[in-house]
Amino acid sequence: MTTIPSGRTRVVAVLALAAFIGSVDLTVATTMLRRIIVHLEIPLPDGFGRAAWIVNAYIVAYVGAMPLAGRLSDVVGRRRVVVGSLALFSIGSALAPFATTLETFVAARVVAAIGAGAVVPAALATVADLFPERRGRAFGVLFGAETLGYVCGPLVGAVLIRFADWPWHFYGAVPTGIVALILAARVMRHLPRPTLRRSLDLPGALLITTALVAVVIGLLSLGSIASAGDLAGFEDSRSGPAWPVFALAVVAGIGFVIAERRAGDPLVPPGLLGRRPVVPALIVNLSIGAILAVAMVNVPLFVNLVLEADLRAAAVTSGIVLTALTATMAMASPVGGWLADRITYRIPVMFGTALLVTGLLLMGRGWDTDVTTAAMAAHLVIAGAGFGLATAPLSAAVVDAAEGPDRGVAASVVLVARLVGLALGLAGLTAWALNRFDALRRTISLPPITDPAYADAVEAAQRQISATVLSETFLVSAVIAAAALVVAMAIRRSPPRAA
């Protein structure tokens, strides 16, 4: 692809909208889960394991769609994949509010998730095509919108539950998806089509998708929304051992490696992972995804369990402090891309990761039962700046290392690394929290139950334990970020490859 059409800014804006819509849908169901469970008449606590798939199925399909979609955009063109993905997203969103059983609801969500997951690598590859050089700032806009959606999703769900009901999210998602589809079809109509004949490598795509889906399912079964039952005292909420799906992931992964060696046109470009910036960038990207999961889950939890007993007040406070994180991320992401364009990948990644370490340490050391909202917001601004500065350069490092016809699959690799990190973060977070809650409960010294002060003592102990456990997860995340900072030193600039 050699021609660069005019109107690049419009294309980036529309693709950012599409990425934002899909990432909102990825997390919005977490705060609407209880209402959806009631609508679908899932019995609790016995149905916690089944109800988990309301959230988990979307995550699995979102991640699983990316490898095939990235390569498909290389083969048939970016515009077709973006428009088709938005159509799938709109169809799934239209079906979801009319589902009357868990199976039909999950099926509708899977259709929407495939569309939402497929649009992102195609969008990223489109941006790479449009900007043969100095594409970091455009990446920053795209990833700023996508990451903003991850954290805005729960807030959107909370507002809808407060003032309307859960189906209204889908009533709004359908026209939004259709508008994005029409805009994408219009602004991308002049994009050149692929000039090289490529094969899809369907066996390789199916094997890597199977491996990724199995990994994500296994991680979600270790620690996910299903574990809410454990926190609530329901010991039978887990869905079963995770080792069979991890074994499936290993088998599919080995099969993928064998198939790629024999493929005439392999799914993953030969030598991509051997190019110097790629592996360190993917490791740091995975680490940032895990840390982002901790921030997305634990900041609202801290407000609800430690600071505010009233649900309405907690929703407002959560919105305020999370805005400090998300707004800073959205503003810092284009800055990180601009720095990558002007200087090198490594400097904004290292500076952003160092800010992330600083913010997490402040959160881990300073968030206790007496912390103020202003202090929380200030710490989240630092962490948000770190997230934002690092994201676009990491993505540019990987996509720039790929040849023009392979940018779609390179974009998929970037996105999958971060989302697998997100699943790892959720699994690790849940395992840590459950173990620490259980350990600290045994250390509580309470007055006799007949004592008038007993209820107040229990509430104070619960708040203190919650603050301790959640603060510890921030400190653990700071250690992960510090390790990522060391890895980031290995990132070097390789010149962008012209199409």
pLDDT of residue 46: 60
> For residue 410, which of 190, 125, 186, 80 has the smallest C-alpha distance?
125
The Cβ of residue 378 has, within 10 Å, a number of other Cβ atoms equal to 15
pLDDT of residue 415: 80
> For residue 495, which of 335, 389, 333, 340 has the smallest C-alpha distance?
340
Positive or negative, the CA dihedral 368, 374, 379, 380 is: positive
Are the C-beta atoms of 492 and 349 separated by less than 8 Å? no
Write the DSSP assignment of 230-259 as a string of letters. Answer: HHTT-TT-----SHHHHHHHHHHHHHHHHH
Are the C-beta atoms of 67 and 416 separated by less than 8 Å? yes
pLDDT of residue 57: 82
pLDDT of residue 236: 40
The Cβ of residue 455 has, within 10 Å, a number of other Cβ atoms equal to 10
Domains and CATH numbers, the chain: 8-193+200-488 (1.20.1250.20)
pLDDT of residue 92: 95
271: left (phi over 0), alpha (psi -120 to 50) or beta: left
pLDDT of residue 45: 53
pTM: predicted TM-score of the whole model, two decimal places: 0.77
Secondary structure tally for the chain: helices H, strands E: 17, 0
Are the C-beta atoms of 25 and 170 separated by less than 8 Å? no
Are the C-beta atoms of 348 and 393 separated by less than 8 Å? yes
d(CA 13, CA 153): 20
Q: List the structure tokens of 327.
A: 């707004």
d(CA 459, CA 465): 10
Q: What is the distance of C-alpha 88 from the center of its chain?
A: 20
Q: What is the pLDDT along the chain (499 residues), one digit of tens a residue?
A: 334 445 788 899 999 999 999 888 887 887 787 788 888 887 765 666 677 778 778 888 888 888 888 888 888 888 999 999 999 999 999 999 999 898 999 999 999 999 998 998 888 888 888 887 667 778 888 888 887 887 788 778 878 877 888 899 999 999 999 999 999 999 998 877 765 566 666 777 788 788 877 877 777 666 544 333 333 333 344 445 567 888 888 888 888 888 877 766 676 766 777 777 888 999 999 999 889 888 877 887 788 778 776 666 666 677 778 788 888 988 898 899 888 888 888 899 999 999 999 999 999 998 988 888 899 999 999 999 999 999 888 888 888 877 666 777 787 888 888 878 887 887 777 777 777 777 777 777 766 777 676 677 777 777 888 888 888 889 999 999 999 999 999 887 654 544 4
pLDDT of residue 315: 65
d(CA 402, CA 497): 7
DSSP state of 187: H
Are the C-beta atoms of 336 and 391 separated by less than 8 Å? yes
